[in-house]
Amino acid sequence: MENEVPEPNNSDSAHNVLLAGIAILNLHGEADLRVLDVARIAGVSVGTIYSHFNSRDGLIKAARVEQYRECLSGELTVFRSSLESANTVDEVLAAIVLFCGSDGNVSGLAARWMRLEVLGSARRRPHLAAALAEENMLHIDRGAKSIQMVQQRGLIDPKVDPQALMAMFDSWSTGSVNMDLLAGTLADQKQWVALTDKVLRSAVLNL
């Protein structure tokens, strides 16, 4: 297999297998994930993989959930930190725009594309889709708590439901892949950011 996959260093065999599976998915995608390769990289037998994950598809599902969880965690950590430390409406807006991927840079591009890849993998895997839905709900609940804190400080309209607001931001973030595709083709990226600011001020901040 081209592009050697880095070998994970962990004593737990199931975790080693999961890391090896994720590494192969990141480099080659699902079509090139072979159980023999995973076993070699993880330093375990093929039987060990099946005992932990039941099947190749079971391993892929577990790896996809972990990829998704990592994407959500990385995005949310930055968002919550920026939002909770905001002292002005402008700082709140900056945190939201950055999270939504509308800031004109590629700060969250890799995470947005990975989320779409994992969601695409779940299209014909109902159990995977259900697991991702659970991760999404946890993600929205955590983000909503930070929004609620900012609402209590009067920086976001308190009449807006924080969970609905977080769900909107999250959908906006994922949908920003379309803006990633258009990067460099818009006449003026600053106009897009200005429009985002205007929408947020009127609909979210009640300004």
Ranges of each domain in the chain: 1-54, 64-203
Q: What is the mean pLDDT of residues 102-127?
A: 81
Which of 54, 56, 180, 165 is CA-nearest to residue 115? 180
CATH 2.60.40 fits 64-203, yes or no: no
pLDDT band at 102 (very low <50, low <70, confident <90, very high): low
- Does residue 140 register a pLDDT over 80? yes
3-class state of residue 104 by DSSP: coil
- Calpha distance 191→204 (Å, rounded): 19
Predicted local distance difference test score (pLDDT) of residue 111 = 85
Q: Which of 40, 79, 89, 112 is nearest to 205 (CA)?
A: 89
- Token pair in block for residue 170: 């999250």
Q: What pLDDT does 8 receive? A: 44
Question: Which class does domain 1-54 fall in?
Answer: mainly alpha
Q: What is the average pLDDT across 134-142?
A: 96
**pLDDT score of 206:** 66
pTM: predicted TM-score of the whole model, two decimal places:
0.85
Mean pLDDT over the full length of the chain:
86
Mean pLDDT of 154-181: 88
